Amino acid sequence: MKHRSLPLVFLLGGIAVLGSCSRENRILRQPPPANDTLNTIQISGLNPGANLIPTPPNSNMYQESAYAVSEGQKLYEEYNCVGCHAHGGGGIGPPLMDRNWIYGSEPGNVFATIMQGRPNGMPSFRNRIPEYQAWEIAAYVRSMAGLLPKGVSPNRTDQMNIKPAESSTPEQVPTGITGVPGQPK
Amino acid sequence: MNSARHLAAYLAVQAKVLDPGPHSVLHSAAPQAGHIEWLYWFTFWILFAVFVLMIVAFTRASAKARVVASHPLPVIEKDEAGDRRAGWAVGTAIGITVIALFVILVVSVITGKRVEGLTSKNPVTIQITGHQWWWEVTYPNSQADQTVTTANEIHVPVGTPVVVLTNSKDVIHSFWAPSITGKRDLLPGYSSAFWFEIDKAGIYHGQCAEFCGLQHAHMGFSITAESVNEFEAWQQQQLKPAAEPSSSDAIRGREVFLTHTCLMCHTIRGTDAGSHLGPDLTHVASRKMIAAETLPNTAGALAGWVVDPQRIKPGTQMSPNPLAPDDLQAVVAYLQSLH
Amino acid sequence: MAVAEAIVANDQDTGESELARSLARTWNQPKGVWGWFCNTHHTDIGIRFMVTAFIFLLFGGVLAVLIRLQLIRPENSLIGPDLYNQIFTMHGSTMIFLFAVPMMFQGFGVYIVPLMCGARNIAFPRLNAFSYYLYVGGALVLWGGFLTNTGPDVGWFAYVPLSGPQYSPGHRADIWSQMITFTEVSALGVAICIATTILRHRAPGMTLNRMPILLWEKLTISIAVIFAMPAVMIASGLLLLDRLVGTHFFNPAEGGDVLLYQHLFWFFGHPEVYIIFLPGAAIISTLVECFSRRRIIGYTPIVVSVVATGFLGFSVWVHHMFATGLPQLSESFFTAASLMIVIPTGVQFFCWVATIWNGKLQFRLPMLWCFGFFFVFLIGGLSGVMLASVPIDLQVHDTYFVVAHFHYVLIGGALFPMFAGIYFWFPKITGRMANATLGKWHFWLFFIGFNITFFTLHFLGLRGMPRRVYTYGPDMHWQGLNMLASSGVVFMTAGLLVFLINVFRSVRVGELAGNNPWGDAGLEWSMSSPPPPYNFLHIPTVSGRDPLWEDPPNQPVVVGLRDDIRETLVTHSLDADPQHKDEDPGPSIWPFLSAVTVSAAFVGSIFTPWAVPIGAPPVIATLIGWLWPRGQSPTPRPVGESWVR
């Protein structure tokens, strides 16, 4: 009888060894903010001389965690990003459901946009919100454009939903094609 | 000497075991909880009698005809007299059960009516909204500037019926102050109302009773029952805009508050901070506890909470604020000035 | 084969031994690893169900120990809220879905029902095997999720909106709802097998009013499962749609309803309690009759009570929702219904007392566990009467008082009878007696530990400690009682260890049991222990409620079933007259393969909707393989030939 349970034990053990899944990680206590994150973020590909500016710090911690993206979704509502960008469709501010982003679509770019503000209305949230929240919002904003895996993109909220959930946002034409921002449906 | 002190401490802890504590169901301070407490003991003694009878019956039955031999032949012949006696006994027992259950049902329904029956034409109305993981408390008034908004610490006048309107911003919570009355779920999408009334002045503890996520354990509230005059004074105080800071520390603290992350979530009436994501801090210094009854409202606890709330309530919506030490001191001084 | 040969050696009649050999050849289950997956015999599948469920009892027990460790003192930082929420959710889900129902309903029922009916195998044996593999699939999904930090953390009831898409990001709640689907499909499959076996495969003469009480309870539960499980599958299915597809069944902002989920869940959840408790009560009825050495008193009232419990169980679900603020009139109705369900349980208790009183009690090990059941379940039942009352419930709902209540009811109503049943049927299952001394140690350790832990929780609840809190403050006066409650865990753990030692020891060196060590009346004691692969050499007939006690030595047996193919007898569902023959489909790998493909589709659908269209063809292919006609139909019987001799 007992040997029958062995495969089960091995299987469960094997799954445990495979390690925990970063998608499910919930970072409740944030690491202290990095010094001078903003200055290391590259906004455009153009550089004087050789490409000396280091690449943006890796924010995978937030981009890969469903919990962080969901927090970003909540903060996006709460901090009234909706006021200008609506639920990704744009309004006063540009739409976020497409990928034609003036200041780049890498996590670091979005983060810098939030923290520094941009001309023509985008306010700076520096010192207004903690850095990790900006990373979470950046992760959520990228999920609206389908830039995050479906597994971490949030589904519908418990509010009125006037657009499809981020986890069912269709894959869009790759970036690089500049032109008219996509029309929200 | 040392061991004597240890012994004394140990005995003190043991004595505490007998004290039911501030959250006991059987420690009513209000008529409704009193009715329920009475019903509890009424039911308890009926059921205790049933329990004793059943245990006696099982003991008698098993002691009566015990055989030690390992394989006595089963009794197949009809024992008509015995079966008839058994039939009567079982029938009587069922009859008693039915009567007991009926009595419990009737008394329970009557008590339920008495508990639910509280009503008044001129109640104090309180709107309670559940948030992950704190309670928003407003005293709605037709005039907007007469509406009191506070958090976690509810004040009510003694001897006046209170109607509580419930709602939830996110998930299901349950409002429960055991010494006042039974619990009521706060359901998103449903608004409901229930009543209570407190006889004795005092501070009564309550806690969320429906599992609501990471910090369900730290979602407490308190109800302060006070005389009508004290209550009205409290209300007038709460209606005032925030006190102007007087000390230089507090003035600087307001500066820090308004230029850092605080104002993204909190309201301090009379300043630029006007967001409603977190508790209203206009009169935060008038509260006895912070973080939904998790910490005492002292300078040290406030500072610890502002800097690293995730250590105290992992998962709370409050973000950590790594302020410079003097900034932190200033903010705490400012918050403590908000009486 | 060794078993069959042993029987042959004991058999004097050469014709009989020839028949036994032939039947053993026909009903033999394939051996080896491949054969293990092909096995469809109910005793093997039943044992697998029970062993697997017992392993999950141990897993759930480990989680319980962690919970008690975390709560042992105020503001303990052993386990954080994130992990604690996963642990208590896993504990509840494991104990209910992976232990209690698979053990008490599926495993025990699958093993014992055909033996009690006098059948050679369960009806639909492949569906039965399929149900087992599906159950294992669900269990692996849940525990695989937990071990990869994807354990559900929303409570075993997973109330929306907390378990909805907004408040439960990631796949934790998906794992939970899909596990529900697995285990409920498994329970439904077994319910169909058991109900059909009871209704159509009873031995001739076992009319409905001669059926053992245990079969009545199994029949009632099977029907309750068939009605209750779809409700929870709808609830978890709608939750999955909300979470994965973005529907709005439970979104209050768009007309969805959070209370609808609770109604659906508890419409299943309360009958579930009786699905767990009734098998326990059935075991108690069987044991009380056996050890009182007399017929049970009040057969008819007990049967009526059992069936009434099955019905009334569906009319009390709202008492889980009193605090939601329903109208007082409807709450009073559900109070009345909840109190009413005490009556059938009371009837059973009174009949047990009367039977013991008028009988000649033999106080052997299984009976010790019965008395444990009487004591523990009585307390649980009486505190349940308190909870039926709306005002009291509003105070103690969602506190440790309720935790104490349902542990008294579920451990009392399932675990104590389970151990009684294990000690009682252990000789039938293994052929050897379990050690009675170790069994007594097991009982007293477990009984004392259980009462220390859970009786204390009543007081914690009355002191207002809510459920599902990962910690509490030092000024709440809860620490002393929590420490006491946690200390009982030591005794319970020790008791379980003694039990495991007892099982492993007794399987090897226990005293040989013989056919009927307790002198019981049920048909399952008429064949050798453990049962041969064909169960009964001749399908028996019965002439009373207690066949082995009442039937004369020359009781006729069924004739005319072939021994070279797996023929089974189908009888009338009411009076059990033989009607026709059917053929048992025999061992097959297809149930296992179907379960694998279905599991793959279920699990895949958590991650991508494409798993449904991509996963469907393999499922269809395995089903085609399973259902492929084999072209054999039972040989028709000559008209007018007698079935029995």
Q: Per-residue pLDDT for C303 more than 80?
A: yes
Model confidence at A106, in pLDDT bands (50, 70, 90)? confident
Q: Per-residue pLDDT for C636 more than 70?
A: no
Model confidence at B22, in pLDDT bands (50, 70, 90)? confident
Integer Cα distance of A43 and C259 in angstroms: 49
Phi-psi bin for C246: left (phi > 0), alpha (psi -120 to 50), beta?
Answer: left
Touching A: which chains, 3+ CB pairs < 8 A?
B, C
Q: Which residue of A26, A27, A28 is the best one to mutate when testing the B interface, meaning the one whose CB has the most B CBs within 10 A?
A: A28
User: Is A130's CB within 8 Å of B261's CB?
Assistant: yes
Integer Cα distance of C290 and B66 in angstroms: 14
Q: Per-residue pLDDT for B106 more than 90?
A: yes
Per residue in B226-283, pLDDT (tens digit) is 999 999 999 999 999 998 998 999 999 999 999 988 989 999 999 988 888 999 999 9
DSSP label of A94:
P
pTM across the whole model: 0.91
From A66, A74, A156, residue closest to C246, measured CB to CB: A156
User: Is B315's CB within 8 Å of C481's CB?
Assistant: no
Per residue in C27-42, pLDDT (tens digit) is 988 888 999 999 999 9
- Smallest CA–CA distance, residue C143 to chain A, in Å, is 7
Model confidence at C489, in pLDDT bands (50, 70, 90)? very high
Per residue in C428-447, pLDDT (tens digit) is 999 999 999 999 999 999 99
CA-to-CA dists, residue B254 to A18, B241, B245, B329, C14, angstroms: 50, 14, 8, 11, 103
Model confidence at A21, in pLDDT bands (50, 70, 90)? low
Least confident of A124-133, B209-218, B281-290, C371-380: A124-133
* Mean pLDDT score across all residues of chain B: 90
| CA nearest neighbour of C110 among C279, C313, C348, C303 | C279
- Smallest CA–CA distance, residue A108 to chain B, in Å, is 21
Model confidence at C8, in pLDDT bands (50, 70, 90)? very low
Residues of B in contact with A26 (CB under 8 A): 315
From B67, B105, B111, residue closest to C360, measured CB to CB: B67
Integer Cα distance of B71 and B60 in angstroms: 22
- C617 at A interface, C-beta within 8 A: no
- B267 at C interface, C-beta within 8 A: no
- A66 at C interface, C-beta within 8 A: yes
| CA nearest neighbour of C121 among C521, C522, C533, C560 | C533
Q: What is the pLDDT of residue A140?
A: 92
| CA nearest neighbour of A140 among C152, C166, C251 | C166
**For range C1-8, the mean pLDDT:** 45
- B326 at C interface, C-beta within 8 A: no
Could you tell me how far CA B58 lies from the centroid of its own chain? Answer: 41
Residues of A in contact with B261 (CB under 8 A): 127-130
Exposure on the CB side of residue C194, measured as CA atoms within 13 A: 33
User: Is A133's CB within 8 Å of B314's CB?
Assistant: no
Q: Per-residue pLDDT for B14 more than 80?
A: no
Q: What is the pLDDT of residue C16?
A: 83
Phi-psi bin for C118: left (phi > 0), alpha (psi -120 to 50), beta?
Answer: left
Out of A109-113, B84-88, C25-29, C111-115, give the one with best mean pLDDT: C111-115
ipTM of the complex model: 0.93
CA angle B226, B302, A80 (to 5 degrees): 95
Residues of A in contact with C60 (CB under 8 A): none
Q: Per-residue pLDDT for C198 more than 90?
A: yes
Percentage helix, strand, coil for chain A under 3-state DSSP, each rounded to 5: 40, 0, 60
- Smallest CA–CA distance, residue C191 to chain B, in Å, is 32
Q: What is the CA radius of gyration of chain A?
A: 19
- Smallest CA–CA distance, residue A29 to chain B, in Å, is 5
| CA nearest neighbour of C191 among C218, C162, C153, C156 | C218
- A162 at C interface, C-beta within 8 A: no
- In which element (H, E) is residue C570 found? strand C567-571
State what percent of residues in chain B have pLDDT above 90.
68
Place of tokens 């009854």: B293
- Determine the residue of chain B that is closest to A68 in CA distance: B315
- Smallest CA–CA distance, residue B26 to chain C, in Å, is 7
- In which element (H, E) is residue C132 found? helix C125-147
**For range C78-94, the mean pLDDT:** 94
* Mean pLDDT score across all residues of chain C: 91
User: Is B104's CB within 8 Å of C339's CB?
Assistant: yes
Please give the structure tokens belonging to residue B311: 């250590």
- Asked whether the beta carbons of C471 and C76 are under 8 A apart, the reply is yes
Residues of A in contact with B314 (CB under 8 A): 28-29
Q: How do strand B173-176 and strand B202-208 relate by DSSP bridges?
A: antiparallel
- B133 at C interface, C-beta within 8 A: no
**For range C325-343, the mean pLDDT:** 91
Model confidence at C272, in pLDDT bands (50, 70, 90)? very high
**For range C610-633, the mean pLDDT:** 87
Q: Which residue of C51, C90, C147, C429 is the best one to mutate when testing the A interface, meaning the one whose CB has the most A CBs within 10 A?
A: C147
**For range C519-544, the mean pLDDT:** 91
Q: What is the pLDDT of residue C565?
A: 86
Residues with Cβ within 8 Å of residue C260, at least 6 apart in sequence: C249, C250
- Asked whether the beta carbons of C136 and A127 are under 8 A apart, the reply is no
Q: Per-residue pLDDT for A178 more than 50?
A: no
Model confidence at B72, in pLDDT bands (50, 70, 90)? low
Least confident of A110-119, C117-126, C221-230: A110-119
Q: Per-residue pLDDT for B15 more than 90?
A: no
User: Is A155's CB within 8 Å of C246's CB?
Assistant: yes
Integer Cα distance of B138 and B125 in angstroms: 9
User: Is B25's CB within 8 Å of C389's CB?
Assistant: no
From B263, B265, B314, residue closest to A29, measured CB to CB: B314
Per DSSP (E only), the strands in B60-210 are 66-67, 124-131, 134-139, 148-151, 153-157, 162-168, 173-176, 184-186, 192-196, 202-208
Per residue in B319-335, pLDDT (tens digit) is 888 889 999 999 999 99
Q: What is the pLDDT of residue A176?
A: 44
Q: What is the pLDDT of residue A146?
A: 84
DSSP label of C637:
P
Q: What are phi and psi of C151, to 5 degrees?
A: -70, 140
